[in-house]
Amino acid sequence: MRMHPSLEAILPKVQKPARYTGGEFGEIIKSKEETEVRFALCFPDTYEIGMSNLGLRILYGVLNKLPGVWCERVFEPWRDMAEAMRAAKVPLYALESGDPIRDFDLIGFSVGYEMSFTGILDMLSLAGIPLRSEDRKDLQPIVFAGGACMFNPEPIADFIDLAAIGEGEELDAELTELYRRAKREGWTKGEFLSAAAQIEGVYVPSLYDVTYQPDGRIASVTPKEGAPAYVRKRILQDLDRADFPVRTIIPSTEIVHDRTMLELFRGCIRGCRFCQAGYIYRPVRAKRAETLIRQGIESLRCSGYEEISLTSLSTSDYKELGALCDGLLDWCEPRSVSLSLPSLRADNFSLELMQRVQKVRRSGLTFAPEAGTQRLRDVINKNVTEEDLLNACRTAFSGGWSSVKLYFMLGLPTETDEDVLGIADLAYKVWQVWREATPNRSRGVRITVSTSCFIPKPMTPFQWFPQDSREELIRKQKLLKDSMRSKAISYSWHEPDVSYIEAALAVGDRRLGKVLERLFASSGGLQAWEEYFDYAAWLQAFREAGLDPDFYVRRLRGEEELLPWDVIDDGVQKTHLLREKHLSERGVVSPDCRKQCLGCGANRLLEGGKCDA
């Protein structure tokens, strides 16, 4: 990296300077003379979080394979670095070349968490790029965003030129090729955006006029200049044949997930009614075990990592899990490389598998029953029973495990105090099971209960429901804390203040642009971090924008209401979401996709229409 002269003076004074220097093993350097399109792949959070993101690793590899295209990484600097850069007038730069990103052609943000929306503003401002799309008149740079949050891109509609909806591998490449053509042929920004809007998966906010009713609900959304009425998300048809970069960058400082990651499948067969990921990544598409073993071994060889993690929304639902683990372990065990399996389900937990997998290094177990009573688990369609959980724990404890984490959600629709107390009861039963099953009581046990707050998310059957009030969530947290009956059980919870703002950003409309702008002006970026999250400033920003966050968060949305994200089509039909909502209101469960296809509609996205559940 060619360093800005001021960086030499700045870097020794900031925390973790390795975040800002690039030069890691595996980074891709290209010749500028041979580069036609420069792509800044931006992550609106820190280096450690961004470098752990599998999507980012994949896109970096895919885009750099395009001839004449150089894709470089950019992360949001920590506050000390951002202040020092502003003071020394060092514009935000890309890690590979050290060049200011304001000189790049495409600036693509990967956004997986609503609280990092302000990171986009922070990075644009640090780069010296006008924040609002309307203030950027030229073809260069085009600012866009992709990632899970783009299933409702409206809150950041003012700042991006376009949103890339769905899986980015092919879509980002097509956008880049279109841009290359636009640059060669001297198109205007408007010409480029009109053409981009014709690519499946591209949403150009400025090509849609939105009007509101007097009470604040959306009255109409009107596409113009030939933009489609609905933007259908992009998916890869065949994951098994998709490009998977086995050579990735090895960070020179510690990151959150410092290991090789293998993605077994996309989508989820389960249909938990609160879970956005379970819906937006449908239909299920799996890789073959054979492919994964080959990619896993090659990735480990290229990286030297000592751990490989099998990721996906519900890893234990992967049909060929046994064969995959066997194949990987044959290679990993003699080399002391450990295998980790996150996201286990209590109803198909296998001790035999866990023991095989964790021979090298044993970690704690994590289960997510999500609700404390069967009634509420049926409402949310978490097809896991108390018996499933206790059996899984019994098996694990008898096999020598002595720590288990249990994840729950507070404030789910229809929740009563009985459901809250049910969490404490369930944790206590787990403790009793440990006493009965453990071969060694003297070692003790650690049971960690953790609760998050329900957040209504777009594209789910619970998108219509409100969130509990802050006071109610705090009361429930206290009720639960006071009900824990063993010192072996510890309880941690998410702050309702953050969840309230997260909910507003998740289900908000494009009027929230003003809120984000004001909040950024008063409190800056990094709002996903406790150190910098400023609740009072958020409320003030809403007030100044003339908006009430309760309108978004605490209101039961009508089933007929036009929702801000209705223009986006993720494949799942709204009628299916409504059917699931109605079933939840009656406490009726739906079978998983493997038992019975419920006709959600996502299979329409597949050539041949056959879901791989």
Interacting residues with ligand SF4 (CB under 6 A): 282-284, 593, 597-600, 602-603, 611, 613
Cβ nearer to ligand SF4, comparing 76 with 592: 592
Tell me the residue type at 368: A
**114, 506 Cβ separation under 8 angstroms:** yes
* Residue 192 tokens, joined: 């480029």
Cβ nearer to ligand SF4, comparing 195 with 598: 598
Q: How far is the CB of 598 from ligand SF4 (least distance, A)?
A: 4
User: Rounded distance, CA 216 to CA 593, Å?
Assistant: 38
DSSP 101: G
Residue 596: how many other CB atoms lie within 10 Å: 10
Q: How far is the CB of 592 from ligand SF4 (least distance, A)?
A: 8
Cβ nearer to ligand SF4, comparing 195 with 606: 606
Residues 6 or more apart whose CB falls under 8 angstroms from that of 419 comprise 371, 372, 373, 375, 376, 412
Cβ nearer to ligand SF4, comparing 40 with 600: 600
Q: How far is the CB of 58 from ligand SF4 (least distance, A)?
A: 22
**86, 19 Cβ separation under 8 angstroms:** no
User: Rounded distance, CA 429 to CA 434, Å?
Assistant: 9
DSSP 128: T
| DSSP per position, 23-74 | --BT-----STT-SEEEEEEESS-HHHHTT-HHHHHHHHHHHTSTTEEEEEE
Q: How far is the CB of 374 from ligand SF4 (least distance, A)?
A: 23
**110, 506 Cβ separation under 8 angstroms:** no
Rg (CA), the chain: 24
Cβ nearer to ligand SF4, comparing 314 with 373: 314
Q: How far is the CB of 371 from ligand SF4 (least distance, A)?
A: 22
User: Rounded distance, CA 154 to CA 509, Å?
Assistant: 5
Examine residue 283 and say whether the peptide bond preceding it is cis (omega within 30 degrees of 0).
yes
Cβ nearer to ligand SF4, comparing 360 with 598: 598
Q: How far is the CB of 569 from ligand SF4 (least distance, A)?
A: 14
Cβ nearer to ligand SF4, comparing 96 with 570: 570
Q: How far is the CB of 459 from ligand SF4 (least distance, A)?
A: 13
Cβ nearer to ligand SF4, comparing 19 with 270: 270
Cβ nearer to ligand SF4, comparing 284 with 430: 284
In 197-320, which residue ranges form alpha helices assigned H by DSSP? 276-280, 289-303
Cβ nearer to ligand SF4, comparing 67 with 609: 609
Tell me the residue type at 575: T
Cβ nearer to ligand SF4, comparing 207 with 280: 280
Q: How far is the CB of 313 from ligand SF4 (least distance, A)?
A: 12
**406, 446 Cβ separation under 8 angstroms:** no
User: Rounded distance, CA 74 to CA 95, Å?
Assistant: 6
Tell me the residue type at 481: K
Residues 6 or more apart whose CB falls under 8 angstroms from that of 229 comprise 223, 567
**50, 75 Cβ separation under 8 angstroms:** yes
Residue 467 burial (10 A CB sphere; 0-12, 13-18, 19+): buried
Q: Measured between alpha carbons, how far is residue 472 from residues 46, 421, 477 in Å?
A: 33, 15, 9
Cβ nearer to ligand SF4, comparing 94 with 593: 593
Cβ nearer to ligand SF4, comparing 268 with 547: 268
Cβ-count burial 226-254 (b if 16+ within 10 Å, e if not): ebbeebbbbbbeebeebebbbebbbbeee
Comparing CA positions, the residue from 278, 266, 269, 315 lying closest to residue 58 is 266
Cβ nearer to ligand SF4, comparing 143 with 572: 572
Cβ nearer to ligand SF4, comparing 144 with 265: 265
Q: How far is the CB of 603 from ligand SF4 (least distance, A)?
A: 4
Q: How far is the CB of 597 from ligand SF4 (least distance, A)?
A: 3
| DSSP per position, 321-384 | HHHHHHHHHHHHGGGT-EEE--S--GGG--HHHHHHHTTS----EEEEEESSSHHHHHHTT---
